[in-house]
Amino acid sequence: MKIRFVVATRERKEDFPTGTATGRSLALYDYPSVEVLLFAQNTLGLPLLYNKAIEAAKHDPAILVFIHDDVHICGFDWPLEIKTALDRFQLIGVAGNKRRAPFQPSWAFVDTNLRWDAKENLSGIVGHGKGFPPANLSKFGPSRQEVKLLDGLLLACHSQTMIDCGLRFDERFDFHFYDLDLCRQAEALNLRMGTWPLSVIHQSAGNFGSDDWIASCLKYFEKWGD
């Protein structure tokens, strides 16, 4: 089974392998089963592009890895890790929450004041910084746990799973909340979601509390009611 990375970047196609963390990481590996579907010089919302990747996979199945362009992939055997993770879960990520609380605006926070959920509910580990070693390591909780919500910095699923059950990204969410919304849909479809200890370093800490984030939060609550 092929692994197809789906990446959107503001960089030009020729600059992606050297100008982004994800591009530099993927350029290191010469695995014949790994492909990259790149949306270069992008200004569109991620769900629109991710859905295009799902539609394209109807005629060319693959494991789809939806990933931000500012993620360093540090492990050496991650293709096998991704395949192993998807033998256990149907939708995977690197960090998430084992529960879902009412009016929860993030997998990690329980309210719009950005108050962290209790540690026993969290799962996963993510490095932060500009490269290896990371500037810090966020150890949220044990990985390989079944969860209700996942962080959207990296999400992976078999394309056929998404096609068979009609799972798509909601295009009303340009960047924020598309990951929570996808998880809510997956929960309604009875798909098993889980975290996996893929070694990654994320350059961004997120943009919580911004005007765009607040607008998306209101859309999310309006859609789901809580």
Q: Domains in the chain, start-ordered, CATH in brackets?
A: 3-224 (3.90.550.10)
How far is residue 218's CA from residue 226's CA, in Å, rounded to a whole number?
10
Q: Which residues pair with 157 in a beta bridge?
A: 64
pLDDT value, residue 117: 97
pLDDT > 90? residue 14 = yes
pLDDT > 90? residue 107 = yes
Portion of the chain with pLDDT greater than 90, in percent: 90
Q: How far is CA 113 from CA 96, 103, 104, 205, in A?
A: 19, 11, 10, 17
The model's pLDDT over 128-150, given as tens digits with 9 standing for 90+, comes to 999 999 999 999 999 999 999 99
Mean pLDDT for 89-109 is 96
Q: What is the pTM of this model?
A: 0.96
pLDDT > 80? residue 48 = yes
The model's pLDDT over 169-208, given as tens digits with 9 standing for 90+, comes to 999 998 999 999 999 999 999 999 999 999 999 998 777 8
Assign 110 a pLDDT band (cuts: 50, 70, 90): very high
The model's pLDDT over 72-87, given as tens digits with 9 standing for 90+, comes to 999 899 999 999 999 9
- Of 45, 38, 94, which is closest to residue 69 (Cα–Cα)? 38
Q: Where are the beta strands (DSSP E) in 59-191?
A: 63-67, 71-73, 91-93, 95-97, 122-128, 136-141, 146-147, 149-150, 154-158
pLDDT value, residue 15: 98
8 A C-beta contact, residue 127 and residue 134? yes
pLDDT > 90? residue 226 = no
pLDDT value, residue 60: 97
Mean pLDDT for 204-219 is 86
Assign 114 a pLDDT band (cuts: 50, 70, 90): very high
Interior angle at CA 201, CA 195 and CA 203, nearest 5: 120
pLDDT value, residue 35: 96
Assign 90 a pLDDT band (cuts: 50, 70, 90): very high
pLDDT value, residue 207: 74
Mean pLDDT for 214-221 is 95
Q: What is the mean pLDDT of the chain?
A: 95
